[in-house]
Chain A
Amino acid sequence: MTDIELSVQDLHVTLGQNHILKGVSLEVNRGEIVALLGPSGSGKTTLLRAIAGLELPTQGSLRIGEQTVFDSAQKIEVSVEKRALGFVFQSYALWPHRTVYQNVAYGLKLRKIPAAEIKERVQTVLDNLGLGELGERHPHQLSGGQQQRVALARSLVYNPRVILLDEPLSNLDAKLREEARIWLRQLIIKLDLSAVCVTHDQAEAMAMADKVVLLKDGVIEQAGTPQEMYGEPQSLFVAEFMGANNTIKGRIAELDGDFARIEGEGWALRGRLRSSLKVGDEATAVVRLERIKMVPAAKENALRLPLTASVYLGSSWEYIFDLAGTSLRGYGGEAMPPGEHLVEIPAEHLWLF
Chain B
Amino acid sequence: MTPLLSVQGITKFYGQHIGCKDVGFDLYPGEVMGIVGESGSGKSTLLNCMAGHLTSDAGAVVFDTRTDGPRDTVTMSEPERRMLSRTDWAFVHQHARDGLRMGVSAGGNVGERLMAVGERHYGDIRAKATDWLGRVEIDATRVDDRPTTFSGGMQQRLQIARNLVTGPRLVFMDEPTGGLDVSVQARLLDLLRGLVRDMGLSAIIVTHDLAVVRLLADRLMVMKDGHVVEAGLTDQVLDDPQHAYSQLLVSSVLQV
A and B bind: no
Residues of A in contact with B (beta carbons under 8 Å apart) = none
Q: Chain B interface (Cβ within 8 Å of chain A)?
A: none
